[in-house]
Each structure stands twice: as structure tokens, then as C-alpha cells.
Amino acid sequence: MARLRTFIAIDLGKPIRARCLALQETLARGGAEVKWVEEENLHLTLLFLGEVEDRDLPALCQAVSDCCIQHNPFTLSVETVGCFPNPRRPRVVWAGVGAGHAQVCALHDALEPPLLALGCYRREERIYTPHITLGRVKSERSTAALALALARQAKWHGGETEVREVRVLSSELTPQGPVYTVLSRAKLHS
């Protein structure tokens, strides 16, 4: 039985991805050792499902579609930057969500029950925080410089996009980085 590493996400669109890439380049000048996410892989994850059996994918995609049709399209703004868990010990560098934050959380919360019922999702311990992962910190060298660079970009704004669909994607890990494939697109009610 084949298993696919699967997640549910919102596409940001090319203009926002390009601004995120420029932000990554600015932050990289600080010298911190960060594995930056490739421009084409920048997205907003709603739920990470992990390994899903391919026989479960049709039911999964249908459940996502059934859920999304109950939500209206909305405007999403990408703004501010920060890191998890904190600037002293950064692990993940992220861009945040301004407008659309409540709608993204509502989508996440609506998707959880049907996916838990299907058995292809385990609820995470931490509270869901909408964000775009820009990079993962590889070592603690130069993290003070990274914290300073992040503080300088506190008012960064990546732009707005109209969210009209949610995507179910697979992620194949390769030595060059992950390769994402769209498995289905679930339209929001219009």
C-alpha cells in the first residue's frame, strides 16, 4: 500500500511568494544558518496530515471539498515576521497573517473533525497559529543577528490575495528539497 506525505494548504499566489523571497534574501544577509523554503514551495499550511494511504485520498479530498464549500472566499494579507519558539532560540522563521486570520482559523477548525473521523489526522498539541514558514534555522550560530534582522522587518508587508480554494498536496522529500504535487482543489463557496 502506497503512502503519501500529505498536507492541506492555501496557495499565496506569485506576487506574495516573490515578496517573501525578497524578505528571505534580506534576512539571509544577517549570516544565520537557515534552510530557506524555495519560492515555489511557500504556502500557508492549514493541516499537516503526515503519511496517508493512497486508498484514503479520495475520501480525504471529498471531506476537504465538503468542508470548504461551507466557507466564503476571503482576503488574506501576509504581514509581519517572527520566529518560533522565540528570538533567543529560533527554530522556524515565519511570515504572519493579518487580514483573514479568523477565516483561516475557522477553516482549520472546520477541517479537523472530518479528518479525525477519517483517521488520517492526529490533532496537534499546540494551538494552530496561521503562518508561512520562510525557513528553518540549522544552527544557533548568528541567531542574535537573525533576531535583529527580524526586529528590523517587524512592519514588513507581503501583500494581499483573495482565497478562493484550498489545496490538498503531497510532499515528496528529495535531496534537493520537497516536491509538492496538488492532489485536489476544494473551492470555497461563492
pLDDT of residue 178: 85
pLDDT of residue 165: 97
Buried-state track 17-46, b at ≥16 Cβ within 10 A, e below 16 = bebbbebbeebeebebebebbeeebbbbbb
Active site residues: 43, 131
pLDDT of residue 132: 97
* 3-state SS assignment for residue 158: strand
Q: What is the CATH number of the domain that holds 76?
A: 3.90.1140.10
Query: In terms of residue numbers, what domain contains 137?
Result: 3-187
Separation between Cα atoms, residue 184 and residue 60, nearest integer Å: 10
Reported as a single tens digit per residue, the pLDDT across 63-112 is 999 999 999 999 999 999 999 888 778 899 999 999 999 999 999 999 99
Burial of 110 (0-12, 13-18, 19+ CB in 10 A): middle
For residue 135, which of 47, 44, 49, 33 has the smallest C-alpha distance? Answer: 33
The C-alpha cell of 156 is what?
514588513
pLDDT of residue 1: 63
Q: What's the distance, CA 104 to chain centroid?
A: 11
- Strands annotated E in the chain: 3-11, 34-36, 43-53, 74-84, 92-97, 131-137, 157-163, 165-174, 177-187
pTM (predicted TM-score): 0.91
The C-alpha cell of 67 is what?
468542508
Residue ranges in the chain whose pLDDT is less than 70 = 1
Number of domains in the chain: 1
